[in-house]
Structure 1
Amino acid sequence: MLGVHFAITAEQERALLAADDRDDVDAIDELLGDIEESWSEPDLKVDTDKAWDAIHRSLTDGTLDPSSGQYPLAPAILGGRHLHDDYYAVYVGAEQVRDVAKALHEVIRAGMRSAFDAIDDEEYAGALDDEDFEYTWSNFVDVRSFYHRAAAAGRAVIFTAQ
């Protein structure tokens, strides 16, 4: 599954949350499809390819459990409000985005490496070697910069992986 974060507009946020409140999965699918297809703000989007998996594991407890880890790092990938049951569509509100951005700024390479090396989940498909860590770290740095830009713009974030 390939992951991508979008710093969504207030209008997109309202529409997604309203559809979620109605449990309208078709509307959520349509809204997310529109966001992905018509995105025009490259600074407010970040692709993480498959690295989102290791990033989440490294920021939490080593698993993909969305409820793992602690605030404010856990919402960076999977720890927000889940809008879909068939794939990851995870919402983080603008106030939380500011908290996540600040917390991600404090993550240092050595700490991330220790957490990465501690991943002990047979479901993890990566190699867990130096090359895999470099890939993970590089994508983490992009996610950290993205959250900083999203916080500065006062935007909520949606993460999707299908």
Structure 2
Amino acid sequence: MSCRAVHFAITNDDLQALRAAVSDPKLIEVIQEVIEERWEKAEGFVCETDKAWDVIHRCLTDGKLEFDNGTEPLRLVILGGEQLYSGDDYIVALVTHDRLRAVADGLAAITPEFIRDRYVALPDDYETEKSSEDCNYTWGWFSDLPEFLIGPRKPADTSFLP
């Protein structure tokens, strides 16, 4: 996959604006003009997983790249719960604040060994050639996600756009 992933912590106001978007272009407008504005202004509201999102999802689920595979809470981390975008040029998923504690607790148990074991067992449809460098790249991008989800300075009603 050549797309990069960005994960946002969003406020209730953001959530209301996303839900009020009447079309995919309006949804992307809210993300780009409201939510992305925090990148430079508020630490802790964004976490990137670069191109590793694909393999992170596979390692946290059953090895496949699908929306509903694997079990909760880990299947929510990358491809999320509720899909907000209906087109195929973006993935915009939502995990609401009432599910974040379970997701964060699930991530707290993930170790480099867990990722390595899951990585080695990936099915043949993973398009990147498997290597220790790719596995380390995967862990490197994954390792910021647990702290991002439970980190300081976020209100209790914060939701998550994986």
Give the TM bin, normalised by the shorter chain.
0.7 to 0.9
- State the partner residue of 2:115: 112
The separation in 2 between residues aligned to 1:82 and 1:74, in whole angstroms, is 13
- Structure 2 spans left out of the alignment, 5+ residues: none
The one-character-per-residue Cα deviations of 1:138-160 (angstroms, maximum 9, x if unpaired) are: 1111111111227953210112x
Paired residue for 1:55?
56
Match of 2:129 in 1: 127
1:2-56 Cα distance to aligned partner (Å, 9 max, x none): 100010111001111233xx5x222212111114541222312111110111110
Q: Give the percent of matched residue pairs that are identical in Structure 1 and Structure 2.
A: 34
Q: Work out whether 1:31 is the aligned partner of 2:33.
A: no
Distance of 2:129 and 2:152 partners within structure 1: 31
Residues 11-90 of structure 1 aligned to structure 2 (within 5 Å): 11-19=13-21, 22=22, 24-35=23-34, 37-39=36-38, 40-84=41-85, 85-86=87-88, 87-90=90-93
CA distance change for structure 1 residues 152 and 43 in 2, over 3 Å: closer, same or farther? closer
Compute the TM-score of the two structures, normalised by the length of structure 2: 0.87
In the aligned structure 2, how far is the partner of 1:62 from the partner of 1:150? 32
Deviations 1:52-111 (A, max 9, x none): 111100000111101001011110110311111221111110111111001100112212
Which structure has more helix as a fraction of its residues? Answer: 1
Aligned to 1:5: 7
- C-alpha separation between the residues in 2 aligned to 1:25 and 1:103? 31
TM-score for the superposition, normalised by structure 1? 0.87
Instruction: List 4+ stretches of structure 1 deviating above 4 A.
Output: none
Quickly say closer, same or farther: Cα 1:129–1:5, change in 2 above 3 A. same
Q: How many residues align?
A: 155
Measure, in 1, the Cα distance between the counterparts of 2:69 and 2:131. 23
AA partner of residue 112 (structure 2): R
1:125 Cα offset (Å): 3.1
